[in-house]
Structure 1
Amino acid sequence: MKKIAIFLLLISAFFMACETDFEVNASWKEVTVVYGLLDQSQPQQYIKINKAYLGEGDALQMASVADSVNYNPEDLEVKIFKVKDGAFGSIDTLGFVTLYDTILEKDTGLFSTDENIIYTTPSNFFLTNNADEKDYILSIYNKKTKRIVSAKSNLIHELNLDIPPSKPMGFYGIIPNPVVLPLDKSQTTVNWYHAKNGKIYQIIARIYYKDYFYNDTILNYIDWTVHPDPYDGSSEMHYTFEGDVFVNTLATKITNTDITLIARRLSHVELFFTVGSEDLHTYMAVNEPFEGIVQERPVFTNINNGIGLFSCRYNKSHSMSFPSSTREGLAIDLGSLHFIYP
């Protein structure tokens, strides 16, 4: 980890002959900020490249100006090289791809949304010749300043799930007749195998439900996000979804604000698995909120001649159905939210 600290140098005056005026904003220095996560499960790769800024005036106002945070794309040459270790410590280049600038929509906030410039690969060049066994070097060459910013990352190998295709996501047993409250809840466990180079795992369970109106039916969803789980060294991994948490999550995240709603039914769930690298895990850990009097935190970067993060992740999804007992049980427990069965 590279720790970057900014120190204010306090210069004392000797005797009475001293110069008390000084420039708060020192002479301009180029600082490149880079963020990118390689993911061979996706058709394209995206790299965000910005510049740090320092100037006279309101910093928040400068952040809202595109020229303050963006490079002119014509000034940058952005490439990703596929490499492998050669003889005597050398690096053999197996190929490269040039990234081109594009503009993606960005949520409003402090920073400029006029030109959210992203650099992207024209296609996924990772899916050939054992790509996940290679390393990848990001090179950013500024044609104006002749400055090179670089970083290196490997790839996370494919994530293999161990979930039978017909396995449902169930949280209730057989509903008794007559109904006896509270209903007993059950759990569902999903399994997968460790992906090489993966250091942290996260699952988002996207729960879909249908809202019925007089003239329309809308498929909505809420996300049940599982806290990231560091790799524990096991080759076989699992996570257990609890029935009580399932019901409480739906009760908390779904509201009845539309008076025209007639009823809603549980539909299905899609699990989104994300595996992150060791550098990504470190970056997330460093930037987690923490309590205490001292709020200063170390800064993590793996960018040479710049700051930021260039690393890797892997995404995979899996759909599961809900059994009839879970649909019926939810209609009983959350009837106040207009869930019905069948």
Structure 2
Amino acid sequence: MSMNSIKIFFSLVLSVLLFNSCEKEVNINADWEDITIVYGLINPNDSVSYLRIEKAYLSDGDIFQDAQIADSNLYKNFLEVEIYSNNKTIVFDTITIFNKEDGIFYAPRMQVYYAVTKNQLNTNDIYKLKVTNPESGKKITSETKLIDASHISFDYPNYSVSFVNDKEIIFNAIKGALYYQLNIRFHYTEGIISGNDTSFSAEYVDWVFPAIYSSDDLGGEELEIPYFGEEFYANLNSHIPHINNVIRYGGQAELIISSADRTFQTYLDLNKPSNSIVQDRPAFTNINNGYGIFASRSVGGKMVSLNSKSEKKLVDDYPDLKFQF
């Protein structure tokens, strides 16, 4: 609904309230309509795939309060959900997750649809989604072509990475993807000293970069993500606790590239915050007979060591972190 439409709408409501003294109640809600909302990003390398499937709802009160009520969002009956290609059909079932972050919708428990997809998805296939409501007979469909970043190639770094200087992570785009986001994950081992005992655990710190886009989805394009070396150390210094009874052994840096297809990139572009005074934007969906998104994503990367100068800088310049190599 446009801003002008909203203004006209509320002007009409105000007119009714002011001039129609016989009408005691005004119902500004339209008749309820069954609108299915689907969100799904399929990764061929995931052991388990999840789909969020819910319904739109009407509210006579605060829509944000009603969003916190599971019954407002969920179908009361079980939906038949499957994805299929030419060779295989995968059936989804319901499961409740308990770690959804707080937000507009109900949390931390949330019902989703899931299927075990380990070694079940072929990256060369187009997968079609079909959701059937057995009570109404309504069918919702979509499709996506899978992408695979598991073998993404890097031009830099090869075996070791430097954070003493400012450099670029250089890698090659994969076929079918437009969206790329880098996360540099530094792994280390932490030992908490308690008397004569030391308890060790594997830890890591993430350094997430803004997403970039390739110029097309044909694959092979060389992409660069620049970084400032000092920010690597500043990120570690701000996220790792400064405590006395600890020893830490530095490990490797994991370069993680998350990628997604053109559908996901278009969805993000149309839903990102706008600085324009024109707030009306087209609603994007690739769900037939519903709303939402069904798209492909994939994650790839490699492990590299810090070069000797980078290790020395971490030990010498940040003694409070108590790192050894």
Counterpart of 1:326 (choices 310, 314, 317) is 310
Confirm or deny that 1:207 pairs with 2:186: yes
Confirm or deny that 1:187 pairs with 2:152: no
Confirm or deny that 1:63 pairs with 2:72: no
Runs of 4+ in 1 over 6 A off after TM superposition: 16-20
Q: CA deviation at 1:169?
A: 2.0
Contact 2:67–2:105 (CA<8 Å) still a contact in 1? yes
**Could you say if the C-alpha distance between residues 82 and 339 of structure 1 is closer, same or farther in structure 2, counting changes exceeding 3 Å?**
same
Q: CA deviation digits over 1:139-173, x for unaligned, max 9?
A: 1111112211111211114553334997012223x
Alpha-carbon distance in structure 2 between the residues aligned to 1:118 and 1:44? 12
Alpha-carbon distance in structure 1 between the residues aligned to 2:108 and 2:211? 33
Structure 1's unaligned 5+ residue stretches are 84-93, 173-184
Q: CA deviation at 1:194?
A: 2.6
Confirm or deny that 1:149 pairs with 2:140: yes
The amino acid of 1:290's aligned partner reads S
Q: CA deviation at 1:203?
A: 1.4
Instruction: Report the TM-score when normalising by structure 2.
Output: 0.81
Deviates more, 1:247-256 or 1:45-54: 247-256
- The aligned residue for residue 92 of structure 2 is 99
Counting matched residue pairs gives 307
Report the 3-state secondary structure (helix = DSSP H, G, I; strand = E; otherwise coil) of the residue aligned with 2:66: helix
- The aligned residue for residue 280 of structure 1 is 264
**Could you say if the C-alpha distance between residues 55 and 236 of structure 1 is closer, same or farther in structure 2, counting changes exceeding 3 Å?**
closer
Taking only the aligned residue pairs, the percentage that are identical comes to 26
Report the 3-state secondary structure (helix = DSSP H, G, I; strand = E; otherwise coil) of the residue aligned with 2:123: helix
Contact 1:73–1:101 (CA<8 Å) still a contact in 2? no
Alpha-carbon distance in structure 1 between the residues aligned to 2:282 and 2:75? 27
The amino acid of 1:209's aligned partner reads Y
Alpha-carbon distance in structure 1 between the residues aligned to 2:251 and 2:73? 44
- The aligned residue for residue 180 of structure 1 is none
Report the 3-state secondary structure (helix = DSSP H, G, I; strand = E; otherwise coil) of the residue aligned with 1:317: strand
Confirm or deny that 1:51 pairs with 2:42: no
Q: CA deviation digits over 1:50-98, x for unaligned, max 9?
A: 1111132332332222111112352x11111214xxxxxxxxxx44222
Alpha-carbon distance in structure 2 between the residues aligned to 1:228 and 1:17? 54
Counterpart of 1:170 (choices 162, 168, 185) is 162
Contact 2:47–2:116 (CA<8 Å) still a contact in 1? no
Q: CA deviation at 1:186?
A: 5.3
- The aligned residue for residue 208 of structure 2 is 225
Alpha-carbon distance in structure 1 between the residues aligned to 2:108 and 2:184? 33
Confirm or deny that 1:246 pairs with 2:237: no
Confirm or deny that 1:23 pairs with 2:34: no
Contact 1:171–1:326 (CA<8 Å) still a contact in 2? yes
Alignment of 1:111-150 (within 5 A): 111-113=105-107, 115-124=109-118, 126-127=120-121, 131-150=122-141
Q: CA deviation digits over 1:155-200, x for unaligned, max 9?
A: 114553334997012223xxxxxxxxxxxx3536443x33211111
**Could you say if the C-alpha distance between residues 70 and 41 of structure 1 is closer, same or farther in structure 2, counting changes exceeding 3 Å?**
same
Q: CA deviation at 1:111?
A: 2.3
The amino acid of 1:41's aligned partner reads N
Report the 3-state secondary structure (helix = DSSP H, G, I; strand = E; otherwise coil) of the residue aligned with 2:303: strand
Answer 1 or 2: which has greater strand percent: 2
